[in-house]
Amino acid sequence: MAKVRKRKISNFENAPIVHYLIPKHEILSEEEEKKILEKYNVTKEQLPRIKIDDPAIRHMNPKKGDIIKIYREDKHAKSIYYRVVV
Amino acid sequence: MTRNVDKDKKDIMITPGEGVGILTAHSIGEPGTQMTMRTFHLPGVVEAVPTGLPRLIEIVDAKKKPKKPVVMIYLKEKYKDMKKVEEIAEKIDEVLLKDVAKFSEDFRKRQILIRIDKDEIRQLKIDLIGIKKKIKAELGPNIKMKHKGEKVLLITKDMPLRMLRKFTNKMKNLHIKGVKGINKPVVTKDENGEWLIVAGGSNLTDLFKFEDVDPSRSTTNDIMEIYNLFGIEAARNAIVNEMYTTMKIQKVNVDIRHICLLADAMTVEGEVVSVGRHGLSGRKPSVLARAAFEETVKHLVNAAINGEEDRLRGVTENILIGQPVPLGTGLVKLTMKHETK
Domains and CATH numbers, chain A: 24-85 (3.90.940.20)
pLDDT band for position A1 (cuts 50, 70, 90): very low
Task: Tell whether B215 lies on the interface with A, counting CB pairs under 8 A.
Answer: yes
Q: What is the CB neighbour count within 10 angstroms for residue B222? A: 24
The answer to whether residue B85 scores a pLDDT higher than 80 is: no
pLDDT tens digits along B16-58: 888 888 899 898 888 888 776 655 555 554 556 677 777 888 8
Same domain, B99 and B173: yes
Q: Are B179 and B43 in contact (CB under 8 A)?
A: no
B contacts of A66 (beta carbons < 8 Å): none
Same domain, B213 and B234: no
* Any domain includes B263: yes
Same domain, B188 and B169: no
- Cross-sheet strand order for the sheet of B111-116: B101-106, B111-116, B151-156, B143-148
The answer to whether residue B265 scores a pLDDT higher than 70 is: yes
Can you give the pLDDT at residue B202?
Answer: 78
Last residue of a domain, one of B177, B206, B240: B177
Task: Tell whether B217 lies on the interface with A, counting CB pairs under 8 A.
Answer: yes
Can you give the pLDDT at residue B294?
Answer: 83
Can you give the pLDDT at residue A8?
Answer: 47
Can you give the pLDDT at residue B137?
Answer: 75
* Any domain includes B168: yes
Q: What is the CB neighbour count within 10 angstroms for residue B320? A: 16
Nearest CA in chain B to A11: B209
Percent of chain A with pLDDT over 70: 84
> What is the average per-residue pLDDT within B248-263?
86
Structural domain boundaries, residue B46: 20-64+225-267
Nearest CA in chain B to A85: B270
Same domain, B147 and B262: no
Q: How many helices (H) and strands (E) does chain B have?
A: 15, 10
**Of A39, A37, A28, A36, which Cα lies nearest the Cα of A63?**
A28
* Any domain includes B167: yes
Same domain, B100 and B160: yes
A contacts of B233 (beta carbons < 8 Å): 21-23, 25, 50, 56, 70, 72, 81
Please indicate whether, in this complex, the C-beta atoms of A49 and B270 are within 8 angstroms of each other: yes
Task: Tell whether A83 lies on the interface with B, counting CB pairs under 8 A.
Answer: yes
Q: Which residue has the higher pLDDT, B317 or B148?
A: B317
B contacts of A70 (beta carbons < 8 Å): 233
Same domain, B111 and B41: no
Percent of chain B with pLDDT over 90: 4
Same domain, B241 and B140: no
Mean pLDDT computed over every residue of chain B: 80
Please indicate whether, in this complex, the C-beta atoms of B270 and A54 are within 8 angstroms of each other: yes
Please indicate whether, in this complex, the C-beta atoms of A25 and B233 are within 8 angstroms of each other: yes
Beta strands A67-73 and A24-27, pairing class = antiparallel
pLDDT tens digits along B276-298: 888 888 888 888 888 888 888 98
pLDDT tens digits along B208-231: 777 778 888 888 888 888 888 888
**How many Å lie between the alpha carbon of A2 and the closest alpha carbon of chain B?**
28
Can you give the pLDDT at residue B105?
Answer: 77
* Any domain includes B135: yes
Can you give the pLDDT at residue B49?
Answer: 67
Can you give the pLDDT at residue A14?
Answer: 66
Task: Tell whether B71 lies on the interface with A, counting CB pairs under 8 A.
Answer: no
pLDDT band for position A5 (cuts 50, 70, 90): very low
Nearest CA in chain A to B260: A74
**Of B336, B335, B312, which Cα lies nearest the Cα of B324?**
B312
* Any domain includes B340: no
Task: Tell whether A15 lies on the interface with B, counting CB pairs under 8 A.
Answer: no
The answer to whether residue B152 scores a pLDDT higher than 60 is: yes
The answer to whether residue A4 scores a pLDDT higher than 70 is: no
Please indicate whether, in this complex, the C-beta atoms of A86 and B234 are within 8 angstroms of each other: no
Can you give the pLDDT at residue A71?
Answer: 92
Domains contained in chain B, number: 4
Nearest CA in chain A to B218: A19
